Amino acid sequence: MNDNSFLEVRDLKKYFPPRESFLGKTTNPVRAVDGISFGLEEGETLGIVGESGSGKSTAARALLQLDPPTSGTVHFKGHNLTSLPEAELRSLRKEMQIIFQDPFSSINPRRLIGDVLREPFAIHNLKDNVSESVKELLNQVGLSSDHAHRYPHELSGGQLQRVGIARAIALNPSLVIADEPVSALDVSVQAQVVNLMMDLREKLKISYIFISHDMGIVEYFCDRVAVMYLGKIVEISTSEEIYKAPGHPYTEALLNAVPGLDPEHTKQKLKIRGDIPDPSNPPQGCSFHTRCPLKEKQCEEMEPLLKEVSPGHHVACFLKE
């Protein structure tokens, strides 16, 4: 690891403290993100997959310092984001942007599209040719400049997500985190948005962190994939490798559970029972052992660590040792 890499996340943790409910009960602290580490190279796309509650979105927000992490470091282009003063962090935010899942709730319904897109420039005190830039942005995401004079409710979900993307790329970021950018969209529109993000990646040399629960799109879109379970990365590798030779039973189950159009595929081999455990009360040992069909005695007692099973392919499972 070196500090000059593009993005280097080390042992990132985000705990939510215990709270007292109105009945006087205290909840356990929730370890939403429990020590994750990964790197990202310039121009690379990393997918983060996992079920809801696995900590994907929390990890993204902690990484961007939108929710300050509990501990750990994030090095981005030589800066340690976790110790950066507010003012410097703010100016560095031009470089790192986020696209949210639901464009209808992440774009202010009372503002014109044009104003929404002008805001990033205003925040960073960039005053030159803003109207020109806004027009250009709209064209870049496949909308017309007329859309600047419309309100969000006049646009379809797909069009509005294009606005969300335009807002994210307005200041020429080098890192864009996309948090489930297509899961709220209609099926026929999802492909359009994925294609758009792919074109922008080529054109603007953006590095993406792509959060999704859709294994199909992740395989297609990402160079590398990290699989998260209960706040931890249980497997990380190139997407080719993960889809060809998944190392962790959880990854394999996720892949098997994707309903394919091929009838031969259908019946899954690895059957997973039950739900993801409550993150405020995680199981001892390997956090997946409660659902794992292949678990052994040691899985209940000890926690497996991420180990390299082949070059660049890390798996946290005793069965792989």
Partner 1 sequence: MSQIELDVRNLQVSFSTPQGIFSAVNGINFQLHSGETLALVGESGCGKTVSALSILRLLPEGTAKIVSGEIIYSGRNLLSLNSQQMREVRGKEISMIFQDPMTCLNPVLTLGEQLSETLLQHNNLNKKEALSKSAQLLGKVELSSPEEKLKQYPHQLSGGMRQRVMIAMALACKPKILIADEPTTALDVLIQAQILELLENLKKETGMAMLLITHDLGVVTEIAERVMVMYAGDEVETGPTQSLLNSPNHPYTKGLIASRPHPGLDIKNEKRLTEIAGSVPNPNQRPTGCSFHPRCNWVMEQCKTLKPISRNFNQDRQYSCHLEPGAI
Which lies closer to partner 1 via its Cβ, residue 81 or residue 233?
A: 233
CA proximity to 33, closest of 8, 60, 1, 51: 60
219 binds partner 1 per the rule CB under 8 A = yes
Beta-sheet pairing, 207-212 with 45-49? parallel
CB atoms within 10 A of CB 244: 9
Interacting residue with partner 1 among 123, 257, 294, 302 (CB under 8 A):
257
Q: Which one-letter amino acid corresponds to residue 261?
A: L
Q: What is the DSSP code (8-state) at residue 313?
A: E
User: How far is CA 167 from its chain centroid?
Assistant: 18
Phi, psi (5° rounding) for residue 45?
A: -120, 125
Which lies closer to partner 1 via its Cβ, residue 129 or residue 280?
A: 280
157 binds partner 1 per the rule CB under 8 A = yes
Interacting residue with partner 1 among 68, 216, 293, 312 (CB under 8 A):
216
Question: How far apart, in whole angstroms, are the C-alpha atoms of residue 74 and residue 18?
Answer: 25
Question: How far apart, in whole angstroms, are the C-alpha atoms of residue 76 and residue 64?
Answer: 10
Question: How far apart, in whole angstroms, are the C-alpha atoms of residue 2 and residue 135?
Answer: 40
Which lies closer to partner 1 via its Cβ, residue 42 or residue 199?
A: 199
- In the complex, the smallest distance separating the C-beta of residue 123 from partner 1, rounded to whole angstroms, is 30
Cβ atoms 124, 91 nearer than 8 A: yes
Tokens, residue 137: 């942005």
Instruction: Point out which span in 3-11, 78-86, 88-96, 194-202 binds partner 1 (CB under 8 A).
Output: 194-202
Interacting residue with partner 1 among 265, 294, 300, 312 (CB under 8 A):
265
> Helix 157-169 to helix 187-204 angle, to the nearest 10 degrees?
20
107 binds partner 1 per the rule CB under 8 A = no
Compute how many residues bind partner 1; rule: CB under 8 A.
41
Interacting residue with partner 1 among 66, 123, 245, 258 (CB under 8 A):
258
Which lies closer to partner 1 via its Cβ, residue 120 or residue 246?
A: 246
182 binds partner 1 per the rule CB under 8 A = no
Instruction: Point out which span in 19-27, 170-178, 214-222, 292-300 binds partner 1 (CB under 8 A).
Output: 214-222
SS3 call for 180: coil
Interacting residue with partner 1 among 187, 269, 281, 321 (CB under 8 A):
187
Interacting residue with partner 1 among 65, 140, 190, 290 (CB under 8 A):
190
CA proximity to 41, closest of 172, 209, 166, 196: 209
251 binds partner 1 per the rule CB under 8 A = no
Which lies closer to partner 1 via its Cβ, residue 130 or residue 198?
A: 198
Question: How far apart, in whole angstroms, are the C-alpha atoms of residue 178 and residue 210?
Answer: 5
191 binds partner 1 per the rule CB under 8 A = yes
- Give the number of C-alpha atoms closer than 13 A to the C-alpha of residue 93, restricted to the C-beta side: 18
**Where do contacts with partner 1 occur on this chain (CB under 8 A)?**
51-52, 156-159, 186-192, 194-195, 198, 213, 215-217, 219-220, 243, 253-263, 265-266, 268, 272-273, 275-276
